[in-house]
A and B are shown apart, each in its own frame.
Chain A
Amino acid sequence: MLNINYRRRLSVLLLASGVLCLAGASAGEPGLSLHYEYFKDANDVYSYTPGFDVIMNLTKNWKASISAEVDGVTGASRTASVTAQDGVTRASKIPTLVDGITGASKFEFRKSQTTHLTYSNAGDVVSLGYYTSTENDYFSSAPMLDVAKDFFDRNTTIGGSVSYYDDKFVNPDVNLQGSADKNLISTQVSITQSLTPLTLVSGSVQRIHSWGYLSKPYNPVVIKVQNPTDDEIYSLHPEVLPNLKTARVLAASLVQGYTFIPDRLGSLRINYRYYFDDWALKSHTMDAEWSQYLSDGLYLRLRYRYYTQTRAEFIYANYAGTETYLSSDIKYYPFTSRTFGVKLAGQFPDDWTDNIWWIPSAWNVKCDYSVRNTKGDANLYQFYAPTSNYNQISIMTGVDYAF
């Protein structure tokens, strides 16, 4: 468990900044955090993501934070169970790369940064933020506003946030004729209540409205061509999704701590989310985390996340090519996924950090392993037909320096 001095300092800072986190803003103890994430999945998609967060006190009430990261991603390649020969696309038992058709890049970098300026005073918090993300073929920017206020002796926090994303695909595909815009507005209201010294509950309602080019140029749909002499001929058709979507999200959280072991705090955190949108896609998410301090400052966290979703209303296993909307992206098909995670977080001894300047004050490492199941109906999924199971692993590690 934390030592007394550290906990007292953290207590003051987190009471001030915790409300801000609930509202979705970025704030915390002044310092520098460095992190690195590695991702790999069963389709040989890799991602390497180093990043940092800096939080600085400008005055007693004003705080600035900057977060930045770089993504190296191999995730744009697509395969399909078809092959092109002599200008004719035919069925193939061996999945074939279709990058040459879609124009997708096989490796690319993404840079993103978020800047926040935050004012806080006795439980009143206002934070303005600005986010940008840049890729070869995609640019995103978003101003965001977060507010939060404490009530009832600071046992209750009510927060709200608004963000507006202005995104643009640039030269992704000839079908887009150069560029395409995508916009998104998210509004969220949340309430958090401390019930006992060891119990915290929270709930939120969110509306996400997006419009514009919501398709992806790299998800071609395989369509069987009606041919009386050869029934194995296919064509590739660009994904077409509606240009309007409104989603609503209800979320609730419970954090229950315990001190069954003297001086060794533990907790169970349960998050539930219900999502539904006007494309008829619904999902349920249950995320449970069990944390236990093993010694002063060192804790272990185990995670289990269950996710299940229905299909969007325009999703089918086979398309005739005359449909208004069509997609082969598995994120719109029904599936369930399970994530198993483990994390260790600890602090370096004070005499190390006091005497050696480059020793950080804290460290953490976590690993998440996920398995996706397509409910046994592999034929429903155009690009995932060879197997109904998919898995991925991500490893994230970080260190914190306190200012």
Chain B
Amino acid sequence: MNTRMQKWIVGSALALALSQLGACAAVAQRDRQYLSDPVMQLQDNSAEAASDAHNLPRREGSSGGTAGAGGGCGC
């Protein structure tokens, strides 16, 4: 299978998955009190996340996957 075909299949699968997300809309606005709590957030403190995004790439060969891509340090 060539690369173009692979990309087309992956893209189609993603589009199909996105089109089905509406079926997951099971949480009404009034039921979101827990989802808005800090312990339910993808990151519960922006300063901590920024610290990790800045410091970890200085010691590891990889970066990304969170807010920001690193950069900005000559140390």
Contacts and interface: CB of A to CB of B under 8 A. Distances in A.
B24 A257 contact: no
Given A37-B51, A51-B47, A247-B64, A198 B34 contact: yes
Interface in A174-200: 182, 184, 186, 188, 191-198, 200
A202 B42 contact: yes
Contacts of A285: 62, 65
Main SS class of interface, B? loop
Interface string A271-308: 10101010001010100000111000001010000010
Determine which residue in A75, A155, A158, A193 has the highest number of CB atoms from chain B within 10 A of its CB, and name it.
A155
Contact of B24 (A21, A193, A202): A193
Contacts of B63: 208, 247, 249, 275
B74 to A, nearest CB: 3
A253 B49 CA distance: 14
Contact of B60 (A75, A198, A283): A283
B74 A35 contact: no
A371 interface: no
Interface string A251-270: 10101010100000111010
Contacts of B65: 204, 206, 249-251, 271, 273, 275, 285
Interface in B28-54: 28-29, 31-48, 50-51
Given A247-B62, A265-B37, A195 B24 contact: yes
A267 B39 contact: yes
Interface stretch (A161-169, A232-240, A348-356): A161-169
A102 interface: no
Contact of A299 (B39, B42, B59, B73): B39
A342 interface: no
Contacts of B64: 186, 188, 206, 208, 247, 249, 251, 273, 275
A220 interface: no
A11 interface: yes
B27 A196 contact: yes
A1 B24 CA distance: 28
B75 A155 contact: no
Nearest to B28: A153
Given A7-B36, A332-B61, A206 B42 contact: no
Contact of A142 (B43, B57, B61, B72): B72
Interface of A: 1-2, 7-8, 10-11, 14-15, 18, 21-22, 24-26, 28, 33, 35, 37, 39, 49, 51, 53, 67, 73, 75-76, 108, 110, 112, 131, 133, 135, 137-138, 140, 142, 151-156, 158, 161, 163, 165, 167, 169, 172, 182, 184, 186, 188, 191-198, 200, 202, 204, 206, 208, 210, 216, 218, 247, 249-251, 253, 255, 257, 259, 265-267, 269, 271, 273, 275, 277, 281, 283, 285, 291-293, 299, 301, 307, 309, 312, 330-332, 337, 345, 364, 366, 372, 392, 394, 396, 398
6 contacts: A167-B72, A172-B74, A251-B65, A255-B40, A259-B34, A269-B42
Q: Which 4 residue pairs across A and B have the least CB separation, nearest first?
A: A138-B74, A186-B69, A140-B72, A24-B67
